[in-house]
Amino acid sequence: MEAVSPITEIIDRLWDCIALRTDYIRELQENLHALRSLMDELMSVRNDVKRRVDIAEGQQLKRRDQVEVWLQMVESTEHEVDQIIEEGFQQMSNTCLGGCCPKHCRSSYKVGKRVAKKLKAVTELRSKGEFTEVAYILPPAEVEVMPSRSTVGMDLMFENVWRCLREDQVGIIGLYGMGGVGKTTLLTKINNEVFHRGIHDFDVVIWVVVSKEPSVRKVQKDIGDRLRLYMPEGESQEAARAACICNVLNKKKILLLLDDIWDRVDLELVGIPLPDSENKSKVVFTTRSEAVCRHMEAQKNIKVECLSWNEAWHLFQNKVGKETLNSHPNIPELAKVITRECAGLPLALITIGRTMSTKKTPNEWNHAITVLRKSASEFSGMGDEVFPLLKFSYDNLPSDIIRTCFLYCAMFPEDYDIDENELVKYWIGEGFIDGFDVMNEASNLGYDIIGTLKLSCLLESGSYEDTQVKMHDVIRDLALWISWDCGRKQGKLLVQAGVGLTEAPEIKKWEETERMSLMYNGIKALTETPTCPDLLTLLLNDNINLGMISDDFFKCMPSLRILDLSMTSITKLPMGIVELVELLYLSLSGTLIKTLPNELKNLVKLKHLDLSHTKFLTTVPLKVISRLPRLQVLNLYRSSYGDWEVDGDGGANLGESECLKHLKDVGITIKTLPFLQKFFNFHNLSRCTSYLLVKRCKGLTALPLSPSSSLTTTLENMKCLKELHLDSCLGLEELTFSWVVVREGEDPIPSNLENLSLSNLPKLKIIKEVTHPFFQNLTHIKIVKCKALKDLTWLLGVRCIQLLYLKNCMEIEEVIYGGVATVEEEFTAFSRLKGIQLLELPKLKSIYENTLPFPFLQKMTVRNCPMLKKLPFDSNNAKNNLKLIGEENWWDQLEWEDEHVKSTFLPHFVRY
């Protein structure tokens, strides 16, 4: 074999190196096309994975971490590939020798090498996207604590029930008694005491409200939601759903709490394994009928009695208050007379006691006794005893407006949690609340009315006690009775809300109705033409299958003022809607509507137009909005119609808002930087915006929140802003405003200092509460996918914030910059915060370096924030029943001031 000379070996190696480099250059064009094609394929796979994730999360499943990491890698790779492809084609266009050779071989080589390397990386990333499963089922909490109230006189009864729960031979327990006697209160106490006393006694506690018309499907759905099960839909799938529930519960020790049963619930038909001495499960239910207890085959029936005299007198005194009882010597004896008239019914004692708390003369008390006795004699049975007592509280409401608002609450389904904001909007739309130039003032009156009704026990807190209310079923019955049977022609209601209708009521029932609620049903079409000359209100919202309304449907409704079609499946408005010349309120929120008809401008009396969450709305004709001269509320929050033309004439544009002289409340979506810049120049629009979504806005790097910036010269007018949502503003780096601060031991920094950045200052001491002239009503802040944002120290100036939601903000390390400290109790950062969610924040290390009181914080959720190892809490924070939700491994790594603080918070921690 002939030996290879050293010179030949060197030449061979040089040639191999040169050949490799020339390959990168020669194959650049081919590799670029291959990279683009492979990237398109990767994006298709990404889209398929995201759709699977969205479906899974809609079924209460949690996406797998490896899927989330892969999606993030794809997103990052997409940006890198776009840049590489752009550079590659630039190199190819820069040639010499007739296009045969690149001018800059070294640059072309580098680009070619990067393309080849990225081609390999994308191929590998594509191969990793074949996920068998993208999400998994979250285990339900053992028990969910329910809002509760005082259980005066129920201690012995509760202990009796608790003792039965520990007896093996007792599997089903029935609690029965008259309406308003406190059965639900007792059941709530049982639920919560399981949490406080014996969380390990049961694998899971399930609470279901059954109501008057028991539906196996509804009970199955509630149980499935509680257990986070994906169950088949459809009337014919009852057995399949039962099998699904049974398979999960068959080997568990469960406590099933069924509230408000009016007829037998077949547990086996639902899928609940019957309690026995082997599985040691229990079922506790409430009902108004002892016969139902027998039908349910309860081993133990416990009657929930009215309060004894001593208990009733104690409760009544507590509600009236010592100040009123001591205001005149005769009042205590008169108070005893009224207590006897209440016959120990807790609901009546509380309602009338609070009403009488403001009556400080014997004349008022004597009059109350006369009214109670006279009204009570008109009735017999339960209704004869309860309704007059409750109506007395109704009659003593401060005004007709409040009484009308109360009756309106019966328009919602039984046992329904009514969103306070939604309720107030209805009241304003109906004209019950009017005469305010600022929408916030009208809303404040609405919330004040809610407070009055809650104080009178005609409304109670819902599942979310700060944002929802509900009517006890007896109170709701009272409202419907008042509307129909008390000689009130005005205000007649036809309410069939949430009762499972698939068709509208027969048209004869519409004739004398003034307000009709068919919300939360399964109505699919409205094809007839009902004649209802007196109809003022029609609520069809949340009939999600309603996709067809005939053009003649509204033809004979000349007086209609309120029309709610939200959360239906309509894709267009029927032309007959132009006949509704008296219409004041129109909600199309959450519909599938694609365009607004030009004829909508005929509704010249319209005051409230809700187009929020219209994901398919693409067309709003020019000069339709501006031809609604009385419009007060225009809501396009989270609507796909977010790219309004600034000056164009193809569709609705911002200039139209200046024609709306009565505009008071606006929700809007902004998706482009030019739109954002113009938005603040339309003062009529920006000054009354309450819901603002800024999404994408390519090129937006800073959003100064100070009057010194030309972009925000009118932000000082945004005093109505309630919710600020920043979404996918990828280049947004900074949110700031002007501060008034004091360095320790020094004079204040001038208040006109522009865009003060705390990160560039030495450690500061805030002596007094940070003041900020803007955002006095801003309560909800959501910031999602603003990946360049580093901190949110400007939140110190937002005094009223109640909910803070941060997600996928990759660069945030601190929520409040650690250079700020407090020295006085007056400092109230987050003083009204009720909820905070911190999700997917990989660099977050701190919310705030010092302890904060968080007096109203109810829930904090932390997910995928591995660097957050210390919270601004001490043992006092746990006194507020704060619920802390997070991953177990995150909880284990948290650092605490001492073991006492950690043990104090342990009962408040809820694992994902």
pLDDT in tens, 433-451: 988 877 888 888 999 999 8
Longest dimension (CA), the chain: 129
10 Å CB burial of residue 452 (0-12, 13-18, 19+) is: middle
pLDDT of 644 above 80: no
Distance from C-alpha of 635 to C-alpha of 726, rounded to nearest angstrom: 17
The secondary structure of 732-771, three-state, reads CCEEECCCCCECCCCCECCCCCCCCCHHHCCCEEECCCCC
Q: What is the DSSP code (8-state) at residue 515?
A: E
82, 131: one domain: yes
pLDDT of amino acid 643: 59
Point out the least confidently predicted range of 40-49, 97-106, 811-820. Answer: 97-106
Q: Please report whether residue 780 resides in a domain.
A: no
165, 114: one domain: no
Q: For 523-534, give one letter per residue: b (16+ CB within 10 A) or e.
A: bbbbeeebebeb
**Residue 724: which H helix or E strand, with range?**
strand 723-727
352, 475: one domain: yes
Q: Please report whether residue 783 resides in a domain.
A: no
Span 169-180, mean pLDDT?
Answer: 86
Region of residue 645 (phi > 0: left; psi between -120 and 50: alpha; otherwise: beta)? beta
379, 274: one domain: no
> Beta-strand (E) ranges in 73-116?
95-96, 101-102
88, 161: one domain: no
Span 263-270, mean pLDDT?
Answer: 90
Q: Please report whether residue 503 resides in a domain.
A: no
pLDDT of amino acid 765: 40
pLDDT of amino acid 774: 58
- Supply 398's token pair: 């401060």
User: Is residue 530 helix, strand or coil?
Assistant: coil
Nearest to 562 by CA among 513, 624, 495, 607: 607
Span 399-412, mean pLDDT?
Answer: 93
Q: Please report whether residue 424 resides in a domain.
A: yes
- Supply 64's token pair: 């797998």
272, 236: one domain: yes
Q: How confident is the model at residue 294 (pLDDT cuts 50, 70, 90)?
A: confident
Work out how many domains the chain is built from and give that number.
3
Q: Are 174 and 301 in contact (CB under 8 A)?
A: yes
Q: Please report whether residue 280 resides in a domain.
A: yes
- Supply 242's token pair: 């039962």
Distance from C-alpha of 518 to C-alpha of 500, rounded to nearest angstrom: 10
Of 129-133, 312-316, 517-521, 753-757, where does the model show the most confidence? Answer: 517-521
User: Is residue 282 helix, strand or coil?
Assistant: strand
- Supply 573's token pair: 């408005």
β-bridge partners, 910: 885
pLDDT of 376 above 50: no
Cβ–Cβ contacts within 10 Å for residue 42, how many? 19
Q: Are 288 and 186 in contact (CB under 8 A)?
A: no
Backbone angles phi, psi at 684, to 5 degrees: -65, -30
pLDDT of amino acid 383: 41
Distance from C-alpha of 478 to C-alpha of 391, rounded to nearest angstrom: 7
**Model pTM?**
0.65
Distance from C-alpha of 586 to C-alpha of 566, rounded to nearest angstrom: 9
214, 106: one domain: no
pLDDT above 90: percentage of residues in the chain: 30
- Supply 704's token pair: 């100064």
Span 32-44, mean pLDDT?
Answer: 82
377, 344: one domain: yes
pLDDT of amino acid 371: 72
Tell me what the pLDDT averaged over the chain comes to: 81
pLDDT of amino acid 545: 94
Q: Are 527 and 550 in contact (CB under 8 A)?
A: yes
Asked which of 107, 137, 167 is the last residue of a domain, the reply is 137
344, 275: one domain: no
Q: What is the DSSP code (8-state) at residue 826?
A: T
CA 542 to chain centre: 16
Q: How confident is the model at residue 108 (pLDDT cuts 50, 70, 90)?
A: low
- The residue with tokens 């164009």 is 648
pLDDT of amino acid 474: 66
Q: Please report whether residue 676 resides in a domain.
A: no
203, 66: one domain: no
Q: Please report whether residue 726 resides in a domain.
A: no
Q: Are 292 and 259 in contact (CB under 8 A)?
A: no
Residue type (1 letter), 326: N
Nearest to 603 by CA among 622, 586, 620: 586
Point out the least confidently predicted range of 139-148, 554-563, 600-609, 695-704. Answer: 139-148
Domain membership of residue 82 as a residue range: 6-137
Name which residue leads in pLDDT, 411 or 350.
411
CA 450 to chain centre: 19
275, 345: one domain: no
Q: Please report whether residue 252 resides in a domain.
A: yes
Q: Are 646 and 654 in contact (CB under 8 A)?
A: yes
Q: How confident is the model at residue 381 (pLDDT cuts 50, 70, 90)?
A: very low
pLDDT of amino acid 252: 87
pLDDT of amino acid 463: 84
Distances from the Cα of 161 to the Cα of 88, 164, 166, 189, 301, angstroms: 77, 5, 9, 11, 10
Span 830-847, mean pLDDT?
Answer: 92
Nearest to 114 by CA among 137, 97, 91, 95: 91
- CATH number, position 166: 3.40.50.300
115, 72: one domain: yes
Distance from C-alpha of 259 to C-alpha of 222, rounded to nearest angstrom: 12
